[in-house]
């Protein structure tokens, strides 16, 4: 079973990487970009076959390692 996790900064948290990307895009002539927020995309190939158990395990993985829950949100998608 495959799963994906998207990790993004919470609203109100400064995103210096996003700002740097936005500035670089402007310097390259892409002036139509008002803002950029950068995050992480993680793809996992799981041995688990039960979607509910996989989601529980993924949630624990995110809380313990994949996301800093103080400043980041995450979403999990199970791809069967």
Give per-residue pLDDT as tens, 49-80: 999 999 999 999 999 999 999 999 999 999 97
**pLDDT at res. 28:** 97
**pLDDT at res. 80:** 77
The residues spanned by each domain of the chain are 2-79
Helix, strand, coil: what percent of the chain each, to 5?
35, 30, 40
Architecture of domain 2-79: 2-Layer Sandwich (3.30)
Using DSSP's 3-state secondary structure scheme, residue 79 falls into strand
Give per-residue pLDDT as tens, 13-35: 999 999 999 999 999 999 999 99
């Amino acid at each position: 079973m495959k799963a994906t996790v998207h990790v993004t900064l919470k609203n109100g948290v400064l995103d210096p990487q996003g700002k740097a990307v936005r500035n670089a895009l402007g310097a390259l002539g892409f002036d139509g970009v008002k803002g950029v927020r950068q995050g992480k995309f993680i793809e996992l190939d799981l041995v688990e076959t039960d979607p509910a158990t996989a989601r529980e395990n993924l949630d624990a993985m995110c809380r313990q390692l994949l996301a800093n829950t103080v400043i980041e949100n995450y979403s999990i998608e199970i791809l069967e």
